[in-house]
Chains A and B, each alone.
Chain A
């Protein structure tokens, strides 16, 4: 009888794992929803907790949080979004007009036309160097690059439409996880076999701490950078300041390369819209100043010693993400690598401490 029970148990576990494995494989989308809503819960749980501490029951606290959340989303949508969309539209228009010219040539841009006179002066000084061919080669390359940028940016962004689906599903899933967090946690913990109970408590606790802090810090840092860039650019009178600031905030997720992308877009906009050289210099200086403030004050304050991935790994993961998934891949590369390394090192350490390996 006892033997029979053991066989039953064993086959049950095999079936369970097979079902989970196949389920994960066939329902990738469902898993993505689930993981995203878990991440959402990680992000907002402290806020809900702080509302709950005012003496409000959990369910009501979650509801109040959702009210505030959707209200601020709505405000953001009505105040910031129209400006942003309008700016993106007219920016794209200018860009498209430029690319669709009979013969798109960067040399016709007002800013570079000025450069031409300088080159001519230098040419007169050093007649033996063939500046003409160097310049033509450079312009040809940059024309080619400019026409390829939209492809590079928009690769895989067809998924953007799926993001709207997530925007609805994730908060709803997150609502139930937030509301019944205690109940779910107790159920899951009491179901874990006793042998693995302590180790799983320790691992889950540490992952919760690290990931929650990291994601919140990243979100706060990028928002601050984006808002600072918007203010600086609007104050300087750079066209499409809100759009460029938004872009700089989003790409700030990418270490090393992201800030450069913001500065490049700012400079490019000034050049494309025919701004003066002084404005170009001020834009670059302003964006650089924003980065300086971020690196000196904001980053150390919110991130602390949270991220210590080696720069080599960071750059390699950005490159890998960029090659395989375009801009979206670059954005997600470093957070993903961070989360995976944190989880793997934690697992290894804990398994070693508990003498499982």
Chain B
């Protein structure tokens, strides 16, 4: 595995980066993007692989990247003095860490890989630059992100309601 990584590092082969358009479109925030648009936004995607249990980011660290899960599972959690509270376990095609794209805030939770996970990292500055340069695609992306965040909000409200009726 380790030497394979070194080999691929020095191999000048762009075919390694073939884009699976249909898989990309099945991701929430990339739905309804055309092939052309996906090729363009693929330029700002950084592919990273994490081993089981490996930390992705920690609470209170600067927030400059959001992630999309290609495969595997990721756990978001908050560390309190005596316990660890799980916020959610995310599966493939979900995204996390998007707050940093909109706010200058630090990480509000920590994340680690539950299984071996393949992630797509998106750099905040490059994302904002992309939205500025490609406003058409940018509107779709921002709309999808807004939709996803609204869904999360609805979910949080329903959890609170359930909690209160108990």
Within 8 A of A (CB), among B49-105: 50, 54-58, 61-62, 64-65
From B27-35, B40-48, B141-149, B156-164, the one touching the partner chain is: B40-48
Instruction: Name B122-162 residues within 8 Å CB distance of A.
Output: 123, 125, 133
Known: A183-B14, A194-B48. A355 touches B61 (CB 8 A): yes
**Per-position 1/0 for A165-194, Cβ under 8 A of B:** 000000000000000001101110111001
Residues of A within 8 A of B43 (CB): 182
CB of A190 within 8 A of CB of B14, answer: no
Task: List chain B residues, Cβ under 8 A from A354.
Answer: 61-62
Q: Name which of A18-26, A196-204, A211-219, A232-240 contacts chain B.
A: A196-204
CB B56 to nearest CB in A, in angstroms, measures: 7
Question: B20 near A: Cβ within 8 Å?
Answer: no
Q: What separation, in Å, do the CA atoms of A183 and B57 have in the docked complex?
A: 25
- B62 close to A202 (CB less than 8 A): yes
Which of B43, B46, B65: most chain A Cβ within 10 A?
B46
Q: Which residues of A contact B62 (CB under 8 A)?
A: 198, 202, 350, 353-354
B50 touching A194, Cβ below 8 Å: yes
Least CB distance, A34 to chain B, in whole angstroms = 17
Q: Flag whether A135 is at the interface (Cβ < 8 A).
A: no
In the complex, the chain A residue whose C-beta lies closest to that of B13 is A183
B9 at the interface (CB under 8 A from A): yes
Q: Is the interface of A mostly helix, strand, loop or mixed?
A: helix
On whether the beta carbons of B64 and A191 are closer than 8 Å, the reply is: no
Check if B47 sits within 8 Å of A190, measured CB to CB. Answer: yes
Q: How far is the CA of A118 from the CA of B47 in the complex (A)?
A: 79
Contacts A190-B47, A194-B54; A353 near B123 (Cβ below 8 A): no
B114 CB within 8 Å of chain A: no
Q: Distance in Å from the Cβ of B40 to the closest Cβ of chain A?
A: 10
In the complex, how many angstroms separate the beta carbon of B73 from the nearest chain A beta carbon?
16
Given contacts A186-B17, A187-B9, contact A5 B65 (CB under 8 A): no
Residues on A with beta carbons closer than 8 Å to the beta carbon of B9: 187, 191
- Residue on A nearest B62 in the bound complex, by CB: A353
CB of B48 within 8 A of CB of A190, answer yes
Q: A183-B14, A190-B47, A202-B62 are in contact. Are A197 and B5 (CB under 8 A)?
A: no
Interface residues of A in 289-341 (CB under 8 A from B): none
Assuming the contacts A5-B2, A182-B43, A186-B47, asked whether A201 and B14 have C-beta atoms less than 8 A apart, the reply is: no
How far is A189 from B123 in the complex, measured between Cα atoms in Å? 11
Which B residues touch A195, using CB under 8 A? 55
CA distance A191 to B123 in the complex (A): 16
Q: Which residues of B contact A130 (CB under 8 A)?
A: none
Q: Are A198 and B47 in contact (CB under 8 A)?
A: no
A302 to chain B, nearest CB (A): 21
In the complex, chain A residues 250-264 whose Cβ is within 8 Å of any chain B Cβ = none
Q: Among B2, B46, B61, which residue has its beta carbon within 8 angstroms of that of A190?
A: B46
* Residues A201 and B65 in contact, CB atoms below 8 Å apart: yes
- The distance from the CB of B115 to the nearest CB of chain A, in whole angstroms, is 15
Question: How far in angstroms is the closest Cβ of chain B from A186?
Answer: 6
Q: How far is the CA of A205 from the CA of B64 in the complex (A)?
A: 10
Instruction: Encode A1-31 as 1/0 by CB contact (under 8 A) with B.
Output: 0000100110000000000000000000000
B47 touches A205 (CB 8 A): no
**Residues A9 and B64 in contact, CB atoms below 8 Å apart:** no
A198 CA / B55 CA spacing, docked (Å): 11
Q: Which residues of A contact B121 (CB under 8 A)?
A: 189, 197, 201
Give the distance in Å from the alpha carbon of A189 to the alpha carbon of B125 in the complex: 15
On chain B, the residues within 8 Å of A209 by CB distance are: 125
The reply on A53 being an interface residue by CB < 8 A is yes
> Are the C-beta atoms of B5 and A191 separated by less than 8 Å?
yes
Q: Are B56 and A194 in contact (CB under 8 A)?
A: yes
A-B contact pairs, 16 of them (CB 8 A): A53-B133, A182-B43, A183-B14, A186-B47, A189-B46, A189-B121, A190-B48, A191-B5, A194-B54, A197-B121, A198-B65, A201-B64, A201-B121, A201-B123, A202-B62, A355-B58
B interface residues with partner A (beta carbon < 8 Å): 2, 5, 9, 14, 17, 43, 45-48, 50, 54-58, 61-62, 64-65, 121, 123, 125, 133
Q: List 8 tightest A-B contacts by C-beta distance, closest first.
A: A189-B46, A182-B43, A202-B64, A205-B125, A353-B62, A191-B9, A354-B61, A53-B133
Beyond the given A187-B9, A202-B64, A209-B125, please list 12 additional residue pairs across the A-B interface where CB-CB is below 8 A. Answer: A182-B43, A186-B46, A189-B48, A190-B48, A194-B50, A197-B48, A197-B121, A198-B62, A201-B46, A201-B64, A201-B123, A205-B125
